[in-house]
């Protein structure tokens, strides 16, 4: 029974990670997607892999994407939301340091409806 509960929790976390990036990609124009990828040192194609759940972001890439999405959110006056490293990487989500630094946003996202879906 515990294994099934752990699997369910892991699956829900994975779905939240996928949805955050997917929703960001849907909100952004192709040019903005390319810009995010360049700023984070990756490719637009890899962002699609992340948003589709085909790849996992490393903690380093998750941090770079967080920083780049913050800059782009500021530049667009909040039109593009910030994607947090905890949205992109399960290890970051479970990290005590990330929880301490990010506070409440370590377990939530700027995508208000993410937590409502399971």
Q: Which residues contact 91 (CB under 8 A, 6 or more apart)?
A: 59
* Residue 43 lies inside a defined structural domain of this protein: yes
Q: What contacts 109, CB < 8 A, 6 or more positions away?
A: 16, 20, 81, 83, 84, 87, 115
pLDDT at 116: 39
Domain range for 54: 2-106
For the chain, the domain total comes to 1
Residue 112 lies in a domain: no
69 in any annotated domain: yes
Region 10-17: mean pLDDT is 54
Report percent pLDDT > 90 for the chain.
Answer: 39
114 is a domain residue: no
Chain segment 87-107, per-residue pLDDT in tens: 888 777 777 776 666 666 655
117 part of a folded domain: no
**What end-to-end distance do the CA atoms of the chain give, in Å?**
19
Taking 60 as the threshold, does the pLDDT of residue 11 lie above it?
no
Helices (H), 28-58: 30-40, 44-52
- In total, the chain counts a number of residues equal to 118
Mean pLDDT over all residues of the chain?
A: 78
Q: Is 26 part of a structural domain of the chain?
A: yes
CA–CA dist 102, 84 (Å, integer):
9
């Amino acid at each position: 029974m515990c294994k099934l509960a752990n699997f369910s929790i892991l699956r829900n976390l994975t779905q939240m990670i996928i949805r955050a990036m997917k929703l960001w990609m849907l909100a952004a124009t192709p040019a903005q997607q390319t810009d995010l990828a360049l700023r984070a040192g990756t490719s637009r194609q890899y962002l699609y892999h992340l948003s589709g759940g085909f790849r996992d972001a490393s903690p380093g890439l998750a941090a770079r994407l967080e920083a780049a999405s913050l800059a782009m959110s500021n530049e667009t006056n909040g039109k593009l939301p910030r994607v947090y490293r905890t949205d992109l990487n399960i290890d970051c989500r479970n990290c005590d340091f990330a929880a301490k630094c990010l506070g409440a946003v370590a377990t939530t996202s700027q995508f208000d409806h993410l937590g409502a879906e399971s």
